[in-house]
């Protein structure tokens, strides 16, 4: 199995209760991830400001082999904070499920489409690389996921993230979903799994089998709620399967 690893220890990993890294620790972790030949390090969320933003800027200035990405809401002001940090990749996360669009942010699909279009246009005009994340994609209307995917590709986005935000997928469903998206679109797909039902690792392996070019993980499987795909276990299984 061959794919590129996106490590989100410094972003999603730090969202686990009881986990908080200071700047020195974040830099040490970034150097360690780089020594593992991790393709991309998601270094955090610059819009949080303060020490978070300074840590991301410091990591971006280390000159690591790994590409450094920063996480953003679908908001140009967020994106400006990331650009201030000189990261390699601007990751823009867009809500996709009705429960997130309607209840969490009190918007509609038209707002989502309009704002992701604005953000993509802004990032590309500023000559930064961009990836677009579909937050809560596994609970979304998959027709809307298809619409978003086609919009992203038409605007020049080459990488999208399919996020199983609440960890509700099974390996069979993951394989079917990822394969369908890739069969219908000429785009690189990244899978982001959570471990709420203990399926993060199995779902990630299924996504790789279906053709995902990028998969997300964290050191020790730390992450929001019950965690993310564990880097060590993923690498062992990728080598064996």
> Closest Cα to residue 195, out of 219, 175, 165, 174?
165
What number is the average pLDDT over the span 200-219? 98
Please answer whether residues 176 and 201 qualify as being in contact, where contact means their C-beta atoms are separated by less than 8 angstroms: no
Q: 94: which strand partners?
A: 134
CB atoms within 10 A of CB 104: 12
The pLDDT tens digits for 139-196 are: 999 999 999 999 999 999 999 999 999 999 999 999 999 999 999 999 999 999 999 9
Percent of the chain with pLDDT over 90: 98
Burial class for 127, CB neighbours closer than 10 Å (0-12, 13-18, 19+): exposed
What number is the average pLDDT over the span 65-69? 99
The pLDDT tens digits for 115-130 are: 999 999 999 999 999 9
The pLDDT tens digits for 92-117 are: 999 999 999 999 999 999 999 999 99
Give every CB contact of residue 100 below 8 A, 6+ residues apart in sequence. Answer: 135, 136
Domain ranges of the chain: 71-240
The pLDDT tens digits for 6-50 are: 999 999 999 999 999 999 999 999 999 999 999 999 999 999 999
- Give the burial string for 171-187 (b: 16+ CB within 10 Å, else e): beebbebbbebbeeeeb
Q: 6: which strand partners?
A: 40, 216
**Mean pLDDT for the chain overall:** 97
pLDDT score recorded for residue 1? 57
Question: At residue 220, does pLDDT exceed 80?
Answer: yes
pTM over 0.95: yes
DSSP letter (8 states) at residue 230:
B
CATH T-level fold of 71-240:
TIM Barrel (3.20.20)
The two structure tokens encoding residue 9: 């220890």
Q: Phi, psi at residue 216, to the nearest 5°?
A: -100, 145
Please answer whether residues 229 and 217 qualify as being in contact, where contact means their C-beta atoms are separated by less than 8 angstroms: yes
């Amino acid at each position: 199995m061959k794919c590129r690893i996106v490590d989100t220890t410094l972003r999603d990993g730090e969202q686990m209760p009881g986990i908080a890294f200071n700047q020195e620790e974040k830099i040490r972790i970034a150097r360690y991830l780089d020594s593992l030949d991790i393709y991309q390090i998601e270094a955090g969320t610059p819009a949080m400001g303060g020490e978070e933003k300074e840590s991301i800027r410091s990591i971006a200035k280390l000159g690591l082999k790994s590409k450094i990405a920063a996480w953003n809401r679908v908001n140009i002001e967020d994106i400006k904070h990331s650009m201030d940090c000189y990261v390699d990749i601007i990751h823009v996360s867009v809500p996709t499920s009705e429960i997130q669009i309607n209840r969490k942010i009190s918007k509609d699909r038209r707002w989502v489409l309009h704002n992701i279009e604005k953000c993509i246009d802004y990032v590309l005009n500023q000559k930064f690389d961009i990836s677009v994340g579909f937050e809560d994609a596994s609970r979304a209307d998959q027709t809307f996921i298809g619409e978003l995917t086609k919009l992203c590709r038409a605007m020049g986005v080459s990488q999208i993230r399919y996020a199983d935000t609440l960890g509700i997928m099974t390996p069979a469903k993951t394989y079917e979903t990822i394969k369908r998206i890739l069969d219908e679109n000429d785009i690189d797909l990244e899978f982001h799994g959570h471990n709420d039902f203990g399926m993060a690792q199995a779902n990630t392996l299924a996504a790789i089998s279906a053709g995902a070019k990028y998969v997300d993980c964290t050191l020790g499987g730390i992450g929001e709620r019950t965690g993310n795909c564990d880097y060590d276990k993923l690498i062992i299984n990728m080598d064996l399967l």
